[in-house]
Amino acid sequence: VDKVNAGADLMPDPKLKCYLKCIMETAGMMTEGVVDVEAVLALLPDDMRAKNEQNLRGCGTQKGADHCDTAFLTQLCWQKANKADYFLI
Protein backbone atom coordinates (compact mmCIF):
# COMPACT_ATOMS: atom_id res chain seq x y z
CA VAL A 1 0.00 0.00 0.00
CA ASP A 2 2.78 2.43 0.92
CA LYS A 3 4.63 1.72 -2.34
CA VAL A 4 1.50 2.36 -4.41
CA ASN A 5 0.80 5.58 -2.53
CA ALA A 6 4.40 6.61 -3.24
CA GLY A 7 3.73 6.22 -6.98
CA ALA A 8 4.31 2.53 -7.76
CA ASP A 9 1.94 0.77 -10.13
CA LEU A 10 -0.52 -1.75 -8.73
CA MET A 11 0.92 -5.25 -8.97
CA PRO A 12 -1.23 -8.32 -9.77
CA ASP A 13 -0.61 -9.98 -6.40
CA PRO A 14 -3.45 -12.29 -5.22
CA LYS A 15 -3.29 -10.90 -1.66
CA LEU A 16 -3.45 -7.31 -2.93
CA LYS A 17 -6.39 -8.16 -5.19
CA CYS A 18 -8.41 -9.56 -2.29
CA TYR A 19 -7.32 -6.70 -0.01
CA LEU A 20 -8.76 -4.28 -2.59
CA LYS A 21 -11.99 -6.30 -2.74
CA CYS A 22 -12.26 -6.21 1.05
CA ILE A 23 -11.68 -2.45 1.21
CA MET A 24 -14.18 -1.78 -1.55
CA GLU A 25 -16.87 -3.99 -0.01
CA THR A 26 -16.32 -2.61 3.50
CA ALA A 27 -16.55 0.98 2.24
CA GLY A 28 -19.70 0.19 0.24
CA MET A 29 -17.97 0.74 -3.09
CA MET A 30 -18.57 -2.80 -4.40
CA THR A 31 -21.28 -5.41 -3.86
CA GLU A 32 -21.39 -8.86 -5.46
CA GLY A 33 -18.57 -7.88 -7.81
CA VAL A 34 -20.25 -4.71 -9.10
CA VAL A 35 -18.70 -1.30 -8.40
CA ASP A 36 -21.07 1.40 -7.13
CA VAL A 37 -19.53 4.47 -8.77
CA GLU A 38 -21.93 6.77 -6.90
CA ALA A 39 -20.65 5.41 -3.58
CA VAL A 40 -17.04 5.88 -4.73
CA LEU A 41 -17.73 9.48 -5.74
CA ALA A 42 -19.50 10.19 -2.44
CA LEU A 43 -16.33 9.22 -0.55
CA LEU A 44 -14.12 11.70 -2.41
CA PRO A 45 -13.51 15.31 -1.39
CA ASP A 46 -15.29 17.78 -3.70
CA ASP A 47 -12.16 18.83 -5.60
CA MET A 48 -11.12 15.23 -6.30
CA ARG A 49 -14.67 14.26 -7.24
CA ALA A 50 -14.92 17.02 -9.84
CA LYS A 51 -11.55 16.18 -11.32
CA ASN A 52 -12.02 12.38 -11.40
CA GLU A 53 -15.74 11.76 -11.92
CA GLN A 54 -15.57 11.26 -15.68
CA ASN A 55 -12.69 8.78 -15.42
CA LEU A 56 -14.30 6.84 -12.57
CA ARG A 57 -17.55 6.55 -14.51
CA GLY A 58 -15.60 5.55 -17.61
CA CYS A 59 -13.91 2.73 -15.73
CA GLY A 60 -17.18 1.48 -14.24
CA THR A 61 -16.74 -2.15 -13.21
CA GLN A 62 -13.81 -3.90 -14.86
CA LYS A 63 -14.92 -7.54 -14.74
CA GLY A 64 -12.29 -10.07 -13.75
CA ALA A 65 -12.12 -13.81 -13.16
CA ASP A 66 -13.54 -13.36 -9.63
CA HIS A 67 -14.50 -10.52 -7.28
CA CYS A 68 -10.89 -10.02 -6.13
CA ASP A 69 -9.75 -9.71 -9.75
CA THR A 70 -12.65 -7.36 -10.54
CA ALA A 71 -11.63 -5.08 -7.66
CA PHE A 72 -8.02 -5.11 -8.85
CA LEU A 73 -8.84 -4.42 -12.51
CA THR A 74 -11.19 -1.60 -11.55
CA GLN A 75 -8.58 -0.02 -9.26
CA LEU A 76 -5.97 -0.44 -12.01
CA CYS A 77 -8.24 1.46 -14.40
CA TRP A 78 -8.64 4.23 -11.81
CA GLN A 79 -4.89 4.40 -11.29
CA LYS A 80 -4.19 4.61 -15.03
CA ALA A 81 -6.89 7.25 -15.49
CA ASN A 82 -5.36 9.68 -12.99
CA LYS A 83 -2.21 8.45 -11.30
CA ALA A 84 -1.55 11.82 -9.64
CA ASP A 85 -4.69 11.54 -7.50
CA TYR A 86 -4.73 7.76 -7.01
CA PHE A 87 -4.25 6.38 -3.49
CA LEU A 88 -5.03 3.30 -1.43
CA ILE A 89 -6.35 3.16 2.12
Q: Is the pTM of this model over 0.85?
A: yes
Start-to-end CA distance of the chain, whole Å, equals: 7
- Is the domain covering 2-81 a CATH 3.40.640.10 domain? no
Q: What is the C-alpha to C-alpha distance for residues 51 and 25, in angstroms, rounded to an integer?
A: 24
Between 6 and 29, the more confident residue is: 29
Q: Give me the pLDDT at residue 2, please.
A: 87
Q: Give me the pLDDT at residue 46, please.
A: 93
Per-domain boundaries in the chain: 2-81
14-62 pLDDT, tens digit each = 999 999 999 999 999 999 999 999 999 999 999 999 999 999 999 999 9
User: E strand or H helix at 56, and its extent?
Assistant: helix 46-59
User: E strand or H helix at 80, and its extent?
Assistant: helix 67-81
| Mean pLDDT, rounded, for 63-73 | 98
